[in-house]
């Protein structure tokens, strides 16, 4: 009887199960939440708990990963982000001036409607936003051929003329899926136009995520932040200056990442394993190229050519 009471006492409540399920869902690698959800559903074996968990986790996951969805009429893409959110299920695409309604769990856009005047920035702000969007399109086409980007006004969208501050947010995103791996690049740039100081402050946050799962489970989650500034200029000149700032910092960070990856065989991989494992057999550090992960990374980055 005591053993039975102890077993019953250790049973997880529905709330605990839901929170654990949400944790796994929210920590899914980029592009893999649907697979994790399928496994979570099988483990839970309780549709009520599962449905509650996914309804809470998917919107948070979609917004944090900045997922991109095709509009039903193929008129464009919409990014699911905190900056484009009109309400829980509606998101603005400023480029087409449309609002997309989405199903977070299915990760699809179900319908679109024209954005109202209240949901769009003033013509003065739209000029800055639109020109920056166009300039970034050139950069993204060169640097990230499969990437997407968007520019939002997050503060001061009702400003009608010079004399007031406003803020834009730039998002750049790329997602790549290969046979046994996938990865994502997400960068968020807060651009504050300070009229009184005639300065534009720039704050960037870059995040790289990767998951390699051929005969193993290796994940990368790298983050980097930076700051910069430029003078407050016309819309055209500001767009060029801001794009150059973004290009400079992203190129610099990518170069730093590549340099660290070139040291993987000689340093990082060695730190992932004990010098003498339980088998009492030394790991062949002199020939790490025989392992597929090293080969693939080396080939992808062109190291050793």
Q: What is the pLDDT of residues 20-78, one digit of tens each?
A: 999 999 999 888 999 999 999 999 989 999 999 999 999 999 999 999 999 987 778 99
Average pLDDT over residues 181-204: 95
- The listed CATH number (3.30.1140.60, 3.40.640.10, 3.40.605.10, 1.10.10.10) that belongs to domain 2-64: 3.30.1140.60
In this predicted structure, the answer to whether residue 190 has a pLDDT above a threshold of 60 is: yes
Q: What is the pLDDT of residues 210-256, one digit of tens each?
A: 888 877 788 888 899 999 999 999 999 999 999 999 999 999 999 98
* The two three-digit tokens of residue 216, written as one number: 């193993």
The reported pLDDT for the residue numbered 6 is 46
- The listed CATH number (3.90.550.10, 2.60.120.890, 3.90.1150.210, 3.40.50.300) that belongs to domain 121-261: 3.90.1150.210
CATH class label, 68-117: alpha beta
pTM: 0.82
The reported pLDDT for the residue numbered 221 is 87
- What is the residue extent of each domain of the chain? 2-64, 68-117, 121-261, 264-301
Place of tokens 């992203």: 250
- What is the C-alpha to C-alpha distance for residues 37 and 49, in angstroms, rounded to an integer? 12
- Please name which of 37, 301, 30 lies closest in space to residue 173, comparing C-alpha atoms: 30
The reported pLDDT for the residue numbered 212 is 84
DSSP per residue over 118-130, as a string? Answer: GGS--HHHHHHHH
Q: Contact 94/120 with Cβ under 8 angstroms?
A: yes
Average pLDDT over residues 172-183: 85
The reported pLDDT for the residue numbered 217 is 80
**Average pLDDT value over all residues in the chain:** 87
């Amino acid at each position: 009887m005591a053993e039975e009471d102890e077993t019953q006492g250790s049973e997880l409540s529905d709330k605990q199960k839901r929170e654990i399920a949400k944790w796994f869902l929210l920590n899914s690698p980029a592009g893999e939440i649907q697979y994790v959800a399928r496994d979570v559903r099988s483990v839970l074996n309780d549709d009520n708990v599962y449905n509650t968990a996914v309804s809470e986790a998917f919107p948070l996951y979609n917004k944090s990963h900045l997922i991109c969805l095709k509009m039903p009429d193929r008129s464009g893409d919409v990014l699911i982000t905190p900056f484009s959110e009109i309400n829980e299920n509606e998101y603005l695409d400023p480029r087409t001036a449309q609002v997309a309604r989405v199903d977070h769990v299915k990760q699809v856009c179900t319908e679109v409607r024209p954005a109202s005047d209240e949901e769009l920035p003033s013509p003065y702000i739209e000029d800055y936003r639109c020109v920056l969007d166009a300039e970034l399109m050139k950069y993204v086409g060169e640097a990230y051929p499969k990437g997407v980007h968007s520019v939002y006004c997050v503060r001061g969208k009702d400003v009608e003329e010079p004399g007031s501050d406003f803020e834009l947010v730039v998002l750049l995103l790329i997602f790549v899926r290969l046979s046994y791996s996938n990865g994502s690049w997400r960068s968020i740039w807060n651009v504050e136009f300070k009229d009184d100081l005639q300065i534009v402050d720039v704050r960037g946050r870059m995040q790289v995520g990767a998951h390699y799962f051929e005969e193993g489970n290796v994940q990368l989650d790298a983050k980097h932040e930076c700051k910069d500034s430029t003078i407050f200029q016309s819309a055209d000149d500001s767009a060029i200056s801001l794009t150059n700032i973004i290009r400079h910092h992203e190129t610099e960070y990518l170069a730093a990442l590549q340099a660290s990856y070139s040291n993987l065989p000689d340093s990082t991989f060695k730190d992932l394993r004990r010098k003498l494992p339980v088998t009492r057999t030394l790991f062949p550090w002199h020939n790490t190229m025989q392992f597929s992960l090293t080969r693939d990374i080396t080939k992808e980055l062109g190291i050793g050519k």
